[in-house]
């Protein structure tokens, strides 16, 4: 930044235009830039550092639960993609095809992977023979391509980064256990590290993954009341195994189909992070995943001893937190704004007067509260304050979600809520795809999930009025 530029440019107020606010924050907080090809994104150092912190937590859990990381090719031969009918139908409209190698036209088109089920299935069909080969617990961190028509950074992009787990098991029950277990890992990272409360549940038939027996999901609410699906886990039964002939000999020497799962968690969660915690001053990053937890801003840094002291404090804090110092020649006001825009959990101010009093000023990003802390209490206070901020972000998000969750009992109530108080709607559903489709057509609201924690909020379907005993969360979604 040039010295002449005193303040970080303002972002659009979220109450005014939420979509524009989102775009402004993404850009001003230096998370992403647009790629050359429409719908692609360049994840910049700060954006990638946050993603890496999230990713590292999840990767730890993936390994702790017995999975191995692998790397499969980006190319999928067309004939392989065609093997499972529902799967190819689900993904066909979004596949990017490679037709040439150099000047030569390829004998068979290659898809750039939109997801890698078929590659893993092909591999498993050749490498699983006996019950001793099971389970196979593979995961890969990779980029995938889906040719999207409308794109937004993190939320919907033609290329994105994720992990995809692909597992094969001896029995349906084992695969079901795996499906649940991995959804729990997602929920853990999202709730305990990203400070975003989730609703766990099962997708309806029309919303499940193409080719899956069933899909379970974690759904989050954004600041504007819309839902974001933050991670999904799929049980495939033996559907893929039958299409790809993945069999094993059981202990009795009988040939059996394996049962499979897949589960994915992507850079989309960065969108959730921005839209759950962000405010009109920019990004707010929960301490546990913040690349910089404390940013030191020296005041009157040209005065003798100020910078030296600031570096001393940094060296001291480095042992317990991720700390950085802004010793650039920008004015303090600019640095304050920058620090808020980037969402660093704590800003530490230190000037000649503070040095005289042997203290610093700590400013919380989440509440803006300021406090003076004696130098000898600093380490203790910062550790406690980071915990407080982490908890407050979660509590605030949960309170917000509860305030924007409404019970609706018929279509009039549903339409009214959609117009007046956008958020989650809890309503009973008869189970028919027609009702689900009608709700979507009339209100653009989709079923988010059939929550594991069921309640009975009425006796009849919100759409048709017939008897209904399934509670569904509905919302407009990203």
Q: Which of residues 218 and 463 has its CB atom nearest to Zn ion in the complex? A: 463
- For the bound state, the minimum distance from the C-beta of residue 469 to Zn ion, rounded and expressed in Å, comes to 12
* Residue 353: CB atoms within 10 Å: 11
Interface residue with Zn ion, options 121, 461, 472, 475 (CB under 5 A):
461
Spatial contact of 309 and 267, defined as CB atoms under 8 Å apart:
no
In the window 414-443, what residues touch Zn ion (CB under 5 A)?
Answer: 430, 432, 435
Give CA–CA dist 398/294, Å, rounded: 25
Closer to Zn ion by Cβ: residue 82 or 454: 454
- Residue in the block written with tokens 């360049």: 42
Q: How far is the CB of 466 from Zn ion (least distance, A)?
A: 5
Specify the stretch interacting with Zn ion by CB under 5 A; choose among 10-18, 102-110, 368-376, 454-462.
454-462
Q: List the x/- string, 64-83, binding to Zn ion by CB under 5 A.
A: --------------------
In this complex, which beta carbon is closest to Zn ion, that of residue 258 or of residue 435?
435
CB of 199 to Zn ion, least distance (A): 21
> Site for Zn ion (CB under 5 A): how many residues?
6
Nearer to Zn ion by Cβ, of 171 and 470: the residue is: 470
User: What's the token pair of residue 109?
Assistant: 């088109």
Q: Judged by CB under 5 A, which of 307, 327, 361, 464 binds Zn ion?
A: 464
> In this chain, which stretch among 162-170, 222-230, 305-313, 463-471 interacts with Zn ion, using CB under 5 A?
463-471
For Zn ion, the closer CB: 392 or 432 = 432
Least distance from Zn ion to the Cβ atom of residue 200, Å: 24
Q: Which is nearer to Zn ion, 23 or 432 (CB)?
A: 432
CB-nearer residue toward Zn ion: 325 or 435: 435
Tell whether residue 246 is a contact of Zn ion (CB under 5 A).
no
Shortest Å distance, C-beta 297 to Zn ion: 58
Query: CB of residue 447 vs Zn ion: minimum separation in angstroms?
Result: 12
In contact, 169 and 421? CB cutoff 8 Å: no
Binders of Zn ion in range 131-160 (CB under 5 A): none
Angstrom distance (rounded) from CA 99 to CA 107: 8
Q: Which residue, 109 or 440, is less far from Zn ion as judged by CB?
A: 440
CB of 226 to Zn ion, least distance (A): 24
Beta carbon of residue 108, minimum distance to Zn ion (angstroms, whole number):
45
Q: Which is nearer to Zn ion, 168 or 468 (CB)?
A: 468
Q: How far is the CB of 474 from Zn ion (least distance, A)?
A: 13
3-class secondary structure per residue, the chain: CCCCCCCCCCCCCCCCCHHHHHHHHHHHCCCEEECCCCCCEEECHHHHHHHHHHHHHHHHHHHHCCCEECCCCCEEEHHHHCCCHHHHHHHHHHCEEEEEECCEEEEEEEEECCCCHHHHHHHHHHHCCEHHHCCEEEEEEEEEECCCCCCECCCECCEEEEEEEEEEECCHHHHHHHHHHHHHHHHHHHHHCCCCCCEEEECCHHHCCCCCCEEEEEEEECCCCCEEEEEEEEEEECHHHHHHCCEEECCCCCEEECEEEEEEEECHHHHHHHHHHCECCECCCCHHHCCCCEEEEECCCCCCCHHHHHHHHHHHHCCCCCEEECCCCCCHHHHHHHHHHHCCCEEEEECHHHHHHCEEEEEECCCCCEEEEEHHHHHHHHHHHHHHHHHHHHHHHHHHHHHCEEECCCHHHHHHHHHHCCCEEEEEECCCHHHHHHHHHHHCCEEEEEECCCCCCCCECCCCCCECCEEEEEECEC
Residue closer to Zn ion, measured from CB, 289 or 435:
435
Q: Which is nearer to Zn ion, 54 or 472 (CB)?
A: 472
- Span interacting with Zn ion, options 10-18, 254-262, 413-421, 453-461, rule CB under 5 A: 453-461
Establish if 408 lies at the interface with Zn ion (CB under 5 A): no
What are the residues binding Zn ion (CB under 5 A)?
430, 432, 435, 461, 463-464
């Amino acid at each position: 930044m040039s010295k002449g530029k005193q303040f970080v440019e303002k972002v659009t107020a979220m109450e005014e235009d939420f979509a524009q606010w989102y775009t402004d924050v993404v850009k001003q907080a230096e998370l992403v830039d647009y790629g050359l090809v429409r719908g692609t994104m360049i994840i910049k150092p700060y954006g990638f550092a946050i993603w890496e912190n999230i990713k590292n937590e999840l990767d730890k859990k993936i390994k702790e639960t017995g999975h191995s990381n692998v790397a499969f090719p980006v190319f999928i031969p067309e004939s392989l993609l065609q093997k499972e009918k529902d799967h190819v139908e689900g993904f066909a409209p979004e596949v990017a095809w490679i037709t040439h190698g150099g000047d030569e036209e390829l004998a068979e088109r290659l898809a750039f992977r939109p997801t890698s089920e078929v590659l893993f299935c092909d591999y498993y069909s050749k490498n699983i023979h006996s019950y001793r080969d099971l389970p196979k617990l593979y995961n890969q961190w990779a980029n995938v391509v889906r040719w999207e028509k409308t794109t937004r950074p993190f939320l919907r992009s033609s290329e994105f980064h994720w992990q995809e787990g692909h597992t094969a098991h001896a029995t349906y029950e084992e695969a079901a256990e795996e499906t649940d277990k991995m959804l729990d890992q997602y929920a853990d990272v999202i709730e305990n590290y990203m400070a975003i409360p989730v609703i766990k549940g099962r997708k309806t038939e029309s919303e499940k993954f193409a080719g899956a027996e069933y899909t379970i999901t974690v759904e989050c609410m954004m600041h504007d009341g819309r839902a974001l699906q933050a991670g999904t886990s799929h049980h495939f039964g033996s559907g893929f195994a039958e299409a790809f002939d993945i069999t094993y000999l059981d202990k009795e020497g009988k040939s059996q189909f394996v049962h499979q799962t897949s589960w994915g968690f992507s850079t989309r969660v960065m969108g959730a992070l921005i839209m759950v915690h962000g405010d009109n001053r920019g990004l707010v990053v929960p301490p546990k995943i913040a690349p910089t937890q404390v940013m030191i801003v020296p005041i009157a840094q040209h005065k003798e001893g100020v910078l030296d002291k600031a570096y001393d404090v940094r060296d001291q804090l480095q042992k317990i937190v991720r700390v950085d110092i802004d010793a650039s020649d920008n004015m303090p006001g600019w640095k304050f704004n920058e620090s808020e825009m980037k969402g660093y959990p704590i800003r530490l101010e230190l000037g000649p007067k503070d040095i005289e009093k042997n203290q610093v000023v700590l400013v919380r990003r989440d509440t803006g509260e300021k406090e003076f802390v004696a130098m000898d209490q600093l380490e203790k206070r910062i550790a406690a304050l980071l915990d407080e901020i982490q908890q407050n972000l979660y509590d605030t998000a949960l309170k917000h979600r509860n305030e924007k969750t409404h019970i609706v009992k018929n279509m009039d109530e549903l339409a009214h809520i959609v117009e007046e108080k956008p958020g989650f709607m809890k309503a009973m559903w008869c189970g028919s795809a027609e009702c689900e489709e009608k709700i979507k057509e009339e209100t653009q609201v989709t079923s988010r999930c059939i929550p594991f924690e069921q309640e009975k909020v009425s006796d009849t379907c919100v759409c048709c009025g017939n008897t209904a005993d399934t509670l569904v969360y509905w919302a407009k979604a990203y």
